């Protein structure tokens, strides 16, 4: 059985993740800023969608039709992004808060998950649960 809390050595084995957002105007700058803290860039954009990734497309946001305007967010969705360093977890968290996120777990060790799990959690403007995670090396665990 795989240990799902080990570092992702494939960097991102999922083809991509897509989220419908209630306001592209609000969400696009939020994701541009927070992904910038992880050295991700916008890989494509249209008037109602944008794709991001670490040099290639892995994540997309798109504005959904007017039926979404009554939605209060997507608190049940959880997406974790690999951070290159422990410092990047902190930078991502600060960028997210400054861009309008709500803190949902400040940066720090998550020993309840794994002894090498270092993460931060936020809720984006639509209520999506997001996380930046770094897997500490053996030296960093000490």
Task: Give a yes or no: residue 1 inside a domain.
Answer: no
| Tens digit of each residue's pLDDT (9 = 90 or more) over 96-124 | 999 999 998 999 999 988 898 899 999 89
Task: Give a yes or no: residue 5 inside a domain.
Answer: no
Classify the phi-psi angles of 118: left when phi > 0, otherwise alpha if psi is within -120 to 50, otherwise beta.
beta
How far apart CA 27 and CA 45 sit, in angstroms, is 13
Global pTM reads 0.67
Domain that holds residue 122: 17-65+74-135
How far apart CA 24 and CA 5 sit, in angstroms, is 32
CATH number reported for the structural domain that contains residue 111 in this entry: 3.10.180.10
**Residue 2 half-sphere exposure, CB side, CA atoms within 13 Å?**
5
Write the DSSP assignment of 75-135 as a string of letters. TT-EEEEE-SSHHHHHHHHHHHHHTT-EESS-SEE-TTT-TTEEEEEEE-TT--EEEEEEE
| Tens digit of each residue's pLDDT (9 = 90 or more) over 122-135 | 989 988 888 888 88
What's the structural domain count of the chain?
1
């Amino acid at each position: 059985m795989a240990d799902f809390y080990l570092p992702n050595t494939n960097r991102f084995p999922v083809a991509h993740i897509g989220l419908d957002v209630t306001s592209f105007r609000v969400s696009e700058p939020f994701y541009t800023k927070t992904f910038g803290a992880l050295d991700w860039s916008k890989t494509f954009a249209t008037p109602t969608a944008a794709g991001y990734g670490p040099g290639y497309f892995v994540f997309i946001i798109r504005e959904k039709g007017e039926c979404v305007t009554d939605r209060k967010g997507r608190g049940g969705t959880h997406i974790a992004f690999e951070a290159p360093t422990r410092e990047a977890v902190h930078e991502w968290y600060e960028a997210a808060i400054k861009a309008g996120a709500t803190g949902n777990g400040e940066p720090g060790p998550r020993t309840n998950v794994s002894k090498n799990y270092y993460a931060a959690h936020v809720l984006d403007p639509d209520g999506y649960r997001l996380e930046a995670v770094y897997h500490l090396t053996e030296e960093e665990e000490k």
